[in-house]
Structures are given as structure tokens and as C-alpha cells.
Structure 1
Amino acid sequence: MRGAVVLFLSVLLPAVSSVVSAAMPDTQRLQQLADSQQWQHLLHYRLHPFTDRTMSQNDSPEFFLAADGKRNLLSELTTDLQAFLHTGLADNESAQCRFPARYFWLKQQLPEVAFVDQPCPEFTAWRDELDAHYLTLIFPASHINSPSSMYGHTLVRLDREDESRSKLLAYSVNFAANADTTDNELVFTWKGLTGGYPGVVSVMPYYVKTNEYQHMEYRDVWEYRLNFSKAEVDQFVRHIWETDDTFFDYFFFDENCSYRLLALLDASSERADMTDDFVLTAVPVETIRALQKNNLVAYSEYRASAASDMEHKSSEAPVAVLNTARELVESGLAIETLLQPLPQQQQVQALELAHAYARYLAIKKKQANPVLRARTIALLSARAKRPVTAGFSEIPVPAYRDDEGHLSRRAGIRAGALSGDDQAEFVDLRFRAAYHDVLDLPQGFVPGSQIQMGKLDVRVWDDGDVQVQHFTVVDVLSLSHRTFFQRPVAWGVSGGLDRFNGREAELHGFIHVALGRAWLNSAGRFYGLAETQLRADNQFDKGYQWSIGPRLGWLWQGRRLQAQLEANWQPLSLGDDTDRTQLSAQLGWRLGNNVQLRAEASRQWFEQDSAETAVNEVSAAVQWYF
């Protein structure tokens, strides 16, 4: 419908331009408005980082009235202004109805122009249904076991004036890739990285997104109330209407959900100018920091996920209650028979945990079936018959929010030496574009999680030679541990360029994939993975080596001290019969919120035709997060 309105206006305007030209401000004034920050924000104009051209990031022709509106701010402003002055069209057919945010802003800038408001009943009814008085940024926290969600996500909830009403019934604004549902995670990731999907702005009831992120994906949620005035909220709503039925090319690294929401907020407030800080990457947690930097966050609140609630209750329940809760769901025995040995309060605890576990199986494990559904209803019925409280404490708010962790980029300098069969000294200059590894400062991050992209080490040897030592395109590691009710798979995937230890080692390409298990206790996090490694370079007998073997490790993530021991043995291989083993140890020490010292040591063994060589590498580094 709105696309048809734009097409109609674009045909009509040439015929009416002579009628309205007398009412137009002079060219100098129009140019001044076109160059203004807010007009650029309304049109989503940004400097392209590679072409050095300023143009709109909106890729839909329906977003412009001028033929060259995507690249010409003045042309679009002039054409829009002519359209806004035109009267006599049918209800909902005017340019004022299609672009209410632009119209409202131009009315404010040009009080001397005799604008005549046109009837827009469709927009008015939609705006009144949203009934937005406040804006709240919603951050479903990073979810390491879902590759498409590993950075986290943001959306905006439109809260009503009466805050006693359920927030689940409010509406929310979301930006996401309009992905093909038949695409698997690999295809989704590739298209997301390369702009293969159109990104669209959508408005939907908040409970729909809550079900998706808090229950279906079992993610904790942070809410950030924005201190936007009612006038700014109204402009935000107008601008959302303008972006409907249009699209922006979606890029996972930069033009993603969080970046686009910042752009929508920029377009709604003269106080906001945040998107220019994000050129090549836009990590969701960094966009929250941008809001705080601009003093646009009033306060924050924590909403625990169903999984966090279940694990918290499990930590307070005795073993007998845990075993009974699992039997209540997994066995076909009568509920009252299973509960009979427990005291009254423990019966209630077992029933509440059993219900949470049944939901976990139904949603997370996709085990919804008539038997489980009937059992869940029976558990709720048994709980309703017992007025005793379970006695569980409130789930505590995390000591750190996600946005209170270290900053996303990292730079460092490392000095080290080789010993053993090869001896040399070196200095590494290190940079990482994003985001976190398991030895980084852990506050605000998912324990046992690692997501690194764009990690580069450039080495300067003691004789002056300079070379690329490592370049990691992506390195994801999830050491999610087993609990009483949850049995997640630990996994890792990485790819890039690397060298073995050694002064004369050659650069090779690699892809590593690992699957296994992780366990957590008071001594730290232990893990065992089966890892397959594919390396490619002419240094291997057939130009490649494909190997498989165990990867075993221990990880400690303390507030000040971080430590890791890891052994990797690759005894089975194709393409090159060299048997490779590595033992590594790393130690991190927190100096400040964004400064860390790190010591590293590794030993690599290479065995071929019963001949063995070994190279040791030790180093110390200081790194800064920014």
C-alpha cells in the first residue's frame, strides 16, 4: 500500500511542482536544511567506509520520492517539501501520511511555510494502537550455543504511560535479517556476513519476542529505560512508520540489529548522534555503551531466563528433590507416589523444578508431545493443591551487566623467545577487532565462552624480519558445562592463518572443529573435545593435512586471575603423516577494567618416521581493551 503511494506521488509531483514552487524557501535555506545532521539521520545517510561517498543506507526505492534521493540530500528534501505542500489528495494518499517524521521535522524548521495538515487515519489508528510513551531498549544477552545469536541482540519496547499494565502486551520494534527459513546455520552465517539478506524493521507484540528470546532460546534479558521525552518518542514512532515496507541490506558485523536501532533513535532525537562511532563493526553491547555515553539511559533492570531460574532453584534443592523432579517428568509413575517420601515443602520444590524441566524439554529440546503435555498439566494440578511456598530465594542479579565487561577491541604487545631445537627472540604486535576469549577478563561475559574475530599477530624477530604470525578470521568456543537438568554440547570452530612454533615455520591456512563435553566444579572448568583439524599449504606432503585427536583442558576464570592448561594430540591424519602434539599454559592477571597482563608457554612436538623435534615458546604480554 505505502509503496503504491510513493509511486503515485512520484508520478504526480512533476505536474504540481509549478503550483507549489512559489511557497518554497530560497535555495540557500534548503541547502542548509539538507546539510543538517537531523535530515541526514532521517534519511539514514552515512559515509561509506570503502567508497568514501555519502549515501543512504536504506536500499529500498520506496524510501525516496526523488529519483536520486538515495545519493542527493537536497534533491530529496526539495521533492519531499513540494509533496508535503500538495493538498486535495484522498485520505492516507498524501506524502505527509507516508513520511510523517520528515513532515513533522520540516514543519518545525520552516514555521513560515503555510503547511496544511492532510488526513492520515491509517497512521493515526496505528499510532494510537501502539500508545507509546516511553522507550526501553531490550538486550537478550549473548547465547553462545547459537551461532546466529552469539553477540547478543537488541530491540526497543514501546511502553505505555500506565506502567502497571503488563509490559508483555506492549509493542516492540525489531530489526532483523529477513532470512530464508530453509537456510542452515552455515548459509545463514555466510549471507549475514556478506549482506545476502534484506534487513527489515518490524513492529510486533513484545510477548512474541519474549517467547523467542527468553523461553525458546533461554536467554537472560537486560532492560534499559531510555530517557527520551514524549516528543522524541512520538518522532520515533513516526519514523518507524516511514521505514515499514522498506529494507536495509543486513550485515552481521556492522549494519546489524543494534546498529540499525541506534540509527532509528538518531533519527528521532536531536540529542542523539551515535551511529558514526560504528564504522566496521557494531557489537550490540557496544551500542548500549554508546547510549550511556550520550546520557540516554535512565536505569536498567534484569530479567532472568527460564533456564537461569531453573538452575538457581536446582542449586538450592537437595539431591532427593532433584532426583524426584526428574522422575516426575521422565517416568510414567504416579505423581503422588513419587512425591510421597518427601516432606511437604520439598514436594513443592520438586513439582516446581519438574515443571521447569518439562518446559525445557518441550521448548529447548523440541520434545513437545501429547504425553509430555499431559504430564505438565498434571504437575501444575498437583502444585495447585499444595498452598505451601517452595522456599526458593530470589534469583540474584548478576554482579556485572554485559555492558560492564571489558571493551570489545583489544591491542597488545608481547615479547618472547623460542628454545629447544630452535632458538630466537621476538616481539609481537597484536590486535583483535572483537570480542572475547576465555582468558580475557571474565566480568560481564558468559563463563566458558569465546568469540574472536579479526585477530592479528605481527611478529618482529631479533634479526629484524617481520612476518604475519597468526590471523584468525573467526574463533568460537563454547565450554557450556553439564548440570543436573541440562547436558549441553561443548564445541568450537575456528579458521584463519597460522604458523607452528619455530623460526622458519611457514604460514598455512587452517580450519578446526571440535565437539565434546565440559564440567564445572570448585576447582574450575574441565573439558574434553574431539577435534579435527584441516591445514593447507605446500609444506604438507600432499598440500594438506586432515587430522583428528583429543583436546583436553582446564580453565579457571577468577576475578583477578585467569588460567588455562590445554593438551592437543592429533595422531590420526591424511595428506601428511606428521604426528603433531601441543601442550600450552596461559596465565592472565587483571590490572584494571581494560588492562591485562598475560604469560604464555607452549611446547610443540613433531614426529615423522620415528624422528621427533620439539620447539618451546614462552612469552609475556600486556594488552589493552578499547
Structure 2
Amino acid sequence: MRFRRAKLQCVLCVLLLLNGFASAEPLAHLHEKADQLGLANHPQWLRLLHYQPVSRDGISQISSPSFFLSKSGASDSTAELSATIDAMFHGDITPEGNHPICRFPARYLWLSRLLGIHREEALLLCNDFQKYAMDGKIDSVSLVFATGFLGNPASYYGHLLLKLNKSGKVEEGRSLLDTSLNYGAIGIEGDDPITYIFKGIFGGYDGSFSHIQFYFHDHNYGEEENRDLWEYQLNLPREDLELLVAHGWELLDKRFTYYFFKQNCAYRMAELLSVVTPATTLPKTPLWTYPQSVLQKVAREDKLVAQRIYHPSRQSRFYSIYRGLNSHEKALFAELVAHPEKTKNLIAKANEPVQYAVLDALINYYQFIRKESGGDSGNANELYRKALLLRYQLPPAPLSKFEGTVTPPDAARSPSYVQISASSSNQSDKIAKEFWIRPSYYDELDGEAGHAPYSALTMAGIKLRYVEDEITVRSFDAIRIRNVANNATGYFGDRPDVWELRAGLESVNAVCDDCLVGVASGEWGRGYNWSSSVNSTFTFEGKLREDYQGSGTLISGAKVQLIAHLSESLSLRLNQTFRYALDNQYQEESVGEVTLRVRLGRQVDFRMGYVKSEGDYFQMGIGHYW
């Protein structure tokens, strides 16, 4: 194979040399042609340089000097164009190694096409680029979305990456050996979550693109972190596809400034796509960019998405197979999990359909719990191998697969929320107007596709009250994360744990005025699924807050919560919390809450609530997602 490639390269070198002597255009003519076409200020050229704004007054967001051929290229698109033409089209074109054509294949393709040079075959001599581009056998690209993961701050909002699909692979399922392009913060090893969030918010990290086989991401997200993957294969013309793939090569290892909320993976993937699809511009929100928002914009472009492919995580596959077991099969499964030494004998006594169903569930279960097993992971591996061996000893039959309908994340509502409501209490005869602004992301009642069920993720959420020409802050969630282990079976390694972390400001109770205090709290407990749409949790709470009129600073308590999705458009939340102030002679506090949400449309809802604490508080309002 290497000998054949070497022969081809020798032939190409001769042809390019002959072509160069026969048809080389003077550089002066190329510069003149570029000026006439206005290429230095062409939007596509500015996007290839990553100028922001996309204008002649922009500045490149790339900080690596190696990305530019002119010393002033980061801020002077004309100088960078001139240097690029000089470097790529001066003399004979015999690129190899670190030649500018091999370093910047997208620029070369773009200029060759617009200047009418038509020497694109020169890229065949760039060995490293050809290896990355799979020798020109890429026939499509896919935008891949990994659903959110509340166990890692870098993954709260999900993740986007680009997958380069080799010819004929997408339709066959997962093409694990295909190349993928990823963008992320670098130098984060060893940083704790608080440090990561702080440095990520304020640009304390560099970010860069990297490439690796898709298998790595499939394993990391789907197997290790149990995150579903959604693949959106894009329908791009051949010229755009080649340009996009080539530009991805140009960006590898180049440094950007990484920002957790704005210039993150979603922003950079949208920016990369905008080189060939200007219509799929970034969301216009100036302060944040969410992966799901970018995905929704791409999906709404006419005929841009060729197909959607769902890759369920190991957890999703296990839950799907387990739910498919009947009561007898579940009883046998439970017996084998509790007493794995009985597996061979009990499976032998079962009829063949039961053997297939239970062994398939066991195989997926043991794979699922390997990460949770800690020191016992070797035992889980051994049990997995034994179950797999028993399965192979049965007559051939297809393995059980994921069953069910899953809503794609682009069909969900937008991630930001604003609500206008009216409220009243038995402590006042005034009707107050309230405003709730939640830039991100979801709560227990409105989680949809791509969100963790029955969970919550809020950052910078603020509630304001307006009454008698006065505006007061009712609460501010700097961060609130509630993680509920949904669909947990209760077996080892799959416990229904529940935890919550919150920091911000809160009113001491629902009916008081001017009683805002700082607070940091945490909860831990267990949950239970009564059905596929009803979940309850019981948690213990610890809270540290500012003292208000002797109400205490060290608070402990317990909370019971029930979430019920009564229909596709109707959801209910019931809370009952009991708290004690440990530093104020165990002062007691009881808070009951009922909230009803009605989904009026994809982007609109109605909510009404009642809170019983020091008094009675009523509220109802209309909300809009954006």
C-alpha cells in the first residue's frame, strides 16, 4: 500500500512540475485578480481566519502565531491574503511536510477555486493531511451531541463534536474508526469543579481542537459517563465538504481563549460550520452559547440534516432491556444478580426465550456496573465474561437491542426562560407582579429531550417582585444542580441516589419583604420511580445562611418531593420540607409547596403555585422559552 502511494506521489510530482512550467501565472496577476474579487474582505476568507466580527475591522480569535503567514495576519486580512498567495503559488508546487499548502489546505482549496488555478491535486502529496482526511474517502460529516452530564461541570449542558464519515459507514451504524474533531479547554487536569467553573467563566483556560477516532468519544460518553449520543448527518455539497474537512485540519492544536458559557465547544463547532454554511450562524445571545441551541439552529435549516442517528448509552440500553423483561424474567434476573454462582444452573433450567432475555439483560448490567464497582470491577468483568459465554452457547439469535421511541434534542424547547406572573399572600392586600429570568437551563417540571429527567440545572436565575413602585429581589440562584438517578433498578451499582447543590440568595420565607439572605445548601437522599412518569425523592438537607432576625444560620432538615408528569402537557410538583435551626434552640420551620405546569406550546407554558410557610402565598404566570 505504501509502495503504491509512493509511486502515485512520484507521478503527481512530475505532472505538477510540468503543469507548473506550462501554466504558472505570475504572482502579480494573482494578487491583481484577488484585489478585483475583493477576496481580502470576503466573508468566507474572514471566517477561515476566525475574525470577529466578520469584517475587515475584525480580529482573529486564534492566538497561535503558527496560524498566520503574515506577522500582522491576526488583524490584517489583506496582509494575510497576500502572504498566503505568495507562499502557496510561488514557483513550482511540490508540497510536502510543512509546506503552506499542507498546513492550510482549506485556504489552498478556496483560493484555487476562486482564482481559477485548479491545482487541487497538489493536496494528494500532503501525507499527514491525507491520513487525517482518510485519503479523500470522507463522504459526509455529522454533528454529534452528547447529552448533559451533571457529574462533571464541563458537561452540564451537553457537548458537541464533529464526526468525519468514511464512505458507506453511516448507514451501517456506528463507524467507530472514523475521525472526529473535538474542541475543549486544555490544562484543566487537577482542577476541582469550583476552580474549573471560575476559570472557565473568566477565560482562565486556553481551548483547542483535537482529532481522534470516534471510538474514544463513543466509549467515554456512552460507556463511562452513560450519556446518550445523537448524530446529525449533514447534507453538504462536495466542495463544501472538502473545504470543511480541510479547515478542521488547519485548526488542530491552535489556541483560542476558552469561555465556559460563550466561546465553548458549541460556539467553536458552529463557527467551524459557518465556513461553509453561513446560514447556520451562532445563536445571537451575547452572553452564552448552548450546544442544544446550536443543534436546533442546524436542524431548522432547510435540508441541511440528512438523517438523525440515536446511539443509546450503556445505561439506556440496559434499562430498555430490563424494562422488556416480564415479572418471571425479572425475578430470575434478581436471583442471578444476588447469587451469581447460581447463574449456570438456573439458566439451564429456564426455557430458551427466557434464557436469551435474562442473559442479554445480565450482559448489559455487568457492563453497566463495571465503572461503579470500584475495587470489584474485576469481579464484574468476570461475571460479564461468564454471562457472555453462556449466551454464546445458546443457538444463534440476535442480541436484545434498545426498544422505544426517543425524542431528538433538537425537538426540545429553547434553553432560556422568562416568566411574568402575579402573586399575593395573606400578609398583604396588594397584588404583586413578579419576573423570573432563568438564562439556563431546566427544572424538575420542564426537562425535555437531552435533559436529565426529574433533575434541575439553573445558573444565574433571578426572581424579582414589583409592588407599589418598588422592585425587590426575591431569590437568586447563582447555581442550582439537582441530580436524580432516574430509572434506577436498585441493584448494586445502580442505586437511586439523589443530590442537590445550591448557592445564591433566598428570601427567608415566601411572604416576607426585604428578607433576602445569602445561602449555600446541599441535599442527599434516595428516589423511587412509581411509574415511568412519577418519581418521588426523600433527602436530608444541610444549609448555611445569613441570620435574619434570629432565624438561625446552621439549618438542617428533610424534604419529600413528588414529581408527576400527568400528560404530555401537564406536570405537578409537591414538596414538603421540615427544617431546624441548630444554632437557635432548634427553631422549627415547615414549608409546603405545590406547583402545576401546563405546556401551552413548544416555547410557552403556564404555571401556578401555592406555598405554605409563615403564611399563604399564591402565584400564577405565563413563561416563554428563548
Fold agreement, TM-score > 0.5 = yes
Question: Structure 2 matches for 1:81-120, cutoff 5 A?
Answer: 81-87=85-91, 91-111=96-116, 120=126
Structure 2 Cα separation of the partners of residues 555 and 507 of structure 1:
28
Alpha carbons of structure 1 residues 168 and 33: separation in structure 2 relative to 1, 3 Å? same
Question: Structure 2 matches for 1:433-512, cutoff 5 A?
Answer: 433-440=439-446, 442=448, 445-461=451-467, 463-481=468-486, 482-485=488-491, 486-500=494-508, 501-512=510-521
Structure 1 position 72 matched with structure 2 position 81: no
Corresponding letter in the other structure for 1:467: T
Query: More deviation in 39-48 or 244-253?
Result: 39-48
What displacement does 1:190 show? 3.0
Query: More deviation in 426-435 or 275-284?
Result: 275-284
Partner of 2:19: none
Partner of 2:560: 552
Q: Secondary structure at the match of 1:451?
A: strand
* One of 195, 201, 204 as aligned partner of 2:209: 201
Query: More deviation in 436-445 or 503-512?
Result: 436-445
Corresponding letter in the other structure for 1:509: G
Q: Secondary structure at the match of 1:571?
A: strand
Contact map agreement 2:230 2:308 (CA 8 A) in 1: yes
Partner of 1:517: 526
Q: Which runs of 5+ in 1 are unaligned?
A: 1-18, 605-613
Alpha carbons of structure 1 residues 577 and 375: separation in structure 2 relative to 1, 3 Å? closer
Cα deviations by residue, 1:427-454 (Å, 9 ceiling, x for unpaired): 0122221221112264664321211222
What displacement does 1:527 show? 0.6
Structure 2 Cα separation of the partners of residues 411 and 370 of structure 1:
49
What displacement does 1:397 show? 2.4
Alpha carbons of structure 1 residues 58 and 393: separation in structure 2 relative to 1, 3 Å? closer
Partner of 1:10: none
Partner of 1:149: 155
Partner of 1:622: 622
* One of 531, 535, 540 as aligned partner of 1:530: 540
Query: More deviation in 135-144 or 121-130?
Result: 121-130
Question: Structure 2 matches for 1:151-170, cutoff 5 A?
Answer: 151-163=157-169, 167-170=175-178
Structure 1 position 252 matched with structure 2 position 260: yes
Corresponding letter in the other structure for 1:566: N
Partner of 1:3: none
Contact map agreement 1:316 1:392 (CA 8 A) in 2: no
Using the aligned pairs only, state the percent identity: 24
Structure 1 position 45 matched with structure 2 position 51: yes
Partner of 1:11: none
Partner of 2:368: 360
Over aligned residue pairs, what C-alpha RMSD do you find? 3.1
Cα deviations by residue, 1:354-373 (Å, 9 ceiling, x for unpaired): 21111112134445644433
Query: More deviation in 157-166 or 38-47?
Result: 157-166
Corresponding letter in the other structure for 1:529: T
Structure 1 position 32 matched with structure 2 position 41: no
Partner of 2:145: 139
Question: Structure 2 matches for 1:595-606, cutoff 5 A?
Answer: 595-604=604-613
Q: TM-score, normalised by structure 1?
A: 0.86
Structure 1 Cα separation of the partners of residues 168 and 603 of structure 2:
41
Alpha carbons of structure 1 residues 615 and 167: separation in structure 2 relative to 1, 3 Å? same
What displacement does 1:474 show? 1.9
Structure 1 Cα separation of the partners of residues 159 and 447 of structure 2:
22
Structure 2 Cα separation of the partners of residues 20 and 197 of structure 1:
44
Structure 2 Cα separation of the partners of residues 20 and 95 of structure 1:
18
Contact map agreement 1:412 1:430 (CA 8 A) in 2: yes
Partner of 2:61: 57
Q: Secondary structure at the match of 1:93?
A: coil
Contact map agreement 1:195 1:250 (CA 8 A) in 2: yes
Partner of 1:223: 231
Question: Structure 2 matches for 1:75-474, cutoff 5 A?
Answer: 75-87=79-91, 91-111=96-116, 120-129=126-135, 131-163=137-169, 167-267=175-275, 269=276, 271-275=278-282, 277-295=284-302, 296-329=304-337, 331=339, 333-367=341-375, 369-387=377-395, 389=397, 395-398=403-406, 400-420=407-427, 422-440=428-446, 442=448, 445-461=451-467, 463-474=468-479
Corresponding letter in the other structure for 2:544: L
* One of 587, 596, 600 as aligned partner of 1:591: 600
Corresponding letter in the other structure for 1:171: T
Partner of 1:4: none
What displacement does 1:35 show? 2.4
Number of residue pairs the alignment of both structures matches: 590
What displacement does 1:484 show? 4.2
Q: TM-score, normalised by structure 2?
A: 0.86
What displacement does 1:341 show? 4.4
Alpha carbons of structure 1 residues 327 and 190: separation in structure 2 relative to 1, 3 Å? farther
Cα deviations by residue, 1:565-597 (Å, 9 ceiling, x for unpaired): 112222143489754332111111121121111
Alpha carbons of structure 1 residues 234 and 487: separation in structure 2 relative to 1, 3 Å? same
Cα deviations by residue, 1:464-514 (Å, 9 ceiling, x for unpaired): 112222222222212224324421421112222222333532322222211
What displacement does 1:393 show? 7.3
Contact map agreement 2:422 2:433 (CA 8 A) in 1: yes
Contact map agreement 1:326 1:354 (CA 8 A) in 2: no
Alpha carbons of structure 1 residues 123 and 560: separation in structure 2 relative to 1, 3 Å? closer
Cα deviations by residue, 1:185-233 (Å, 9 ceiling, x for unpaired): 3333333333332222111111121111111122222221101122212
Alpha carbons of structure 1 residues 507 and 61: separation in structure 2 relative to 1, 3 Å? farther
What displacement does 1:112 show? 7.8
Alpha carbons of structure 1 residues 338 and 146: separation in structure 2 relative to 1, 3 Å? farther
Alpha carbons of structure 1 residues 366 and 64: separation in structure 2 relative to 1, 3 Å? farther
What displacement does 1:145 show? 4.5
* One of 566, 571, 574 as aligned partner of 2:580: 571
Partner of 1:6: none
Corresponding letter in the other structure for 2:85: L
What displacement does 1:391 show? 9.2
Corresponding letter in the other structure for 1:580: E
Contact map agreement 1:217 1:364 (CA 8 A) in 2: no
Corresponding letter in the other structure for 1:189: I
